[in-house]
Structure 1
Amino acid sequence: MVPQRVTLITLGAQSVPKLRSFYSALGWEETPASSDDYSVFTTAGVLLSLYPYQDLLKDTNLDPGVHGQPSLTFSGITLAINVESAEEVDAVMASVKKHGAQILREPFEAVWGGRVGYFSDPEHHVWEVAYNPAAIFDESGAMISF
């Protein structure tokens, strides 16, 4: 049986120091294992790691594509930060923009009753910021249901 959990998300970084600086500027805390070669941030329930893109290609044995560079097309994956109020969506989006994120879609009222906005970090990893009125968080801030 495969355990039903996600424990680590790794972003392939063209520049670990650049992305490390971006996430640090958001106020995210790093683990002691972090450096400019590999960085790990603690979040509620999942660790976020930054690992050199070329090393990740080697590790996964994937085809690097054109000129060994990541595609700037949408990969079909978003990372999400769920928050506890509609107003917090707007505040988070304003904060990430101030720290160099590209706003892909300004916050809007979702058809399912929440509020959502989208941004990308300096290397085009896509993030969703969402308020879901049905979301349930545990004491650590991890979303456990909606």
Structure 2
Amino acid sequence: MEQRLSLITLGVADLGRSRDFYGQLGWQGQEVEQTVFFQAGGLAVVLWARQSLAEDAGVEDRGAGGFAGAALAHNVRERAEVDQLMAAAARAGAKVTQPARDTSYGGYAGYFTDPDGHLWEIAWNPGFPIAADGTITVPDFGADVRESADEVAAELNRVSGGRFTDARQDRAELREGQPGVVSEPVFDTALRGYFKNMVDDLVRRGLDALASGTAPQRQAVRAELDPTTLTVALRGYDMGQVDAYLERLSAALANEPEQPGQ
């Protein structure tokens, strides 16, 4: 069997009610012979009477209710879309079973059930980029990926025709000769690690404070260098490397900045 899905059929108690529910979420379908078809990316979601589906499959319909051991997922491109769609589903009559919250993989997601109890997850997962056509590609979780800041800067400079400015050079010049100097970090990518954007932002603010911050500014940033506040994500920065680097950066920020003329 080819590794793909063609249709997902949901057994429903009231076809009109269910079609209206999904219509309020913005889905447009076609009804043919008491069956509703929705085009959903490269596959179709189908609404069909529960009894008809059970008879067609040769199983007993024991009625809705309880956990069926499966969930449908709709991934979104932006975190804010999760709350928007969860609210829209609730207005359309969905039962919210799990309000949107931060997830263990560095994303944001919530669950609801449709009028027939089918479970839906609305998720923002930065580890699963969404293509223009709405499809996702499962990443290679086992790949040993090493992303060098120097390699990224060189590629940006190449594609920009030399117009890219590497701000790290300015910070390095400002930090030159300071006690406790900390260089620009290069972290490995791990299967589970710290969410990259959070680390990058924290390191950038720390290096900026180290380069030109006042004593109060340094201490304020230093207080934020707590790895326990970082979100763990799929394919994030190696946690051991980040922990060690933030410890060195914190120690460097503890030194008083030199005054001009010293």
TM-score, normalised by the number of residues in structure 2: 0.51
Query: What residue number does 1:84 align with?
Result: 77
Structure 1 letter corresponding to 2:71? T
Name the structure where strand makes up a greater proportion of residues: 1
Measured after TM superposition, the shift of residue 19 of structure 1 is 0.3
Match of 2:57 among 56, 60, 63: 60
Is residue 83–residue 129 contact of structure 1 (8 Å, CA) maintained in 2?
yes
Match of 1:50 among 35, 47, 51: 47
**Partners of 1:53 and 1:141 in 2: CA distance:** 29
**Partners of 1:43 and 1:71 in 2: CA distance:** 24
Measured after TM superposition, the shift of residue 137 of structure 1 is 2.2
- SS of equivalent to 2:29: coil
Query: What residue number does 1:41 align with?
Result: 38
Measured after TM superposition, the shift of residue 36 of structure 1 is 7.3
Measured after TM superposition, the shift of residue 119 of structure 1 is 0.3
Query: What residue number does 1:103 align with?
Result: 96
**Residues 7 and 26 (structure 1 numbering): CA distance in 2 closer, same or farther, change over 3 Å?**
same
Deviations 1:63-115 (A, max 9, x none): 223xxxx1301001000000112111111111111111111111000011000
Which stretch shifts more, 44-53 or 34-43?
34-43
Measured after TM superposition, the shift of residue 17 of structure 1 is 0.9
Structure 2 letter corresponding to 1:111? S
Match of 2:111 among 115, 118, 121: 118
Measured after TM superposition, the shift of residue 56 of structure 1 is 0.7
**Residues 130 and 144 (structure 1 numbering): CA distance in 2 closer, same or farther, change over 3 Å?**
same
The question of 1:23 aligning with 2:16 is answered: no
Structure 2 letter corresponding to 1:134? G
- SS of equivalent to 1:107: strand
Name the structure where helix makes up a greater proportion of residues: 2
Match of 1:127 among 113, 120, 123: 120
Which stretch shifts more, 56-65 or 73-82?
56-65
- SS of equivalent to 2:85: helix
Is residue 12–residue 48 contact of structure 2 (8 Å, CA) maintained in 1?
yes
Which stretch shifts more, 107-116 or 43-52?
43-52
Q: Give the 4+ runs in structure 1 shifted more than 2 A.
A: 136-139
**Partners of 2:113 and 2:72 in 1: CA distance:** 10
Measured after TM superposition, the shift of residue 35 of structure 1 is 4.4
Is residue 114–residue 130 contact of structure 1 (8 Å, CA) maintained in 2?
yes
**Residues 35 and 20 (structure 1 numbering): CA distance in 2 closer, same or farther, change over 3 Å?**
farther
- SS of equivalent to 1:59: helix
Measured after TM superposition, the shift of residue 26 of structure 1 is 1.1
Structure 2 letter corresponding to 1:83? V
**Partners of 1:16 and 1:36 in 2: CA distance:** 11
Deviations 1:32-56 (A, max 9, x none): xx14711011112221100111111
Instruction: Flag the structure with larger Rg.
Output: 2
TM-score, normalised by the number of residues in structure 1: 0.89
- SS of equivalent to 1:104: strand
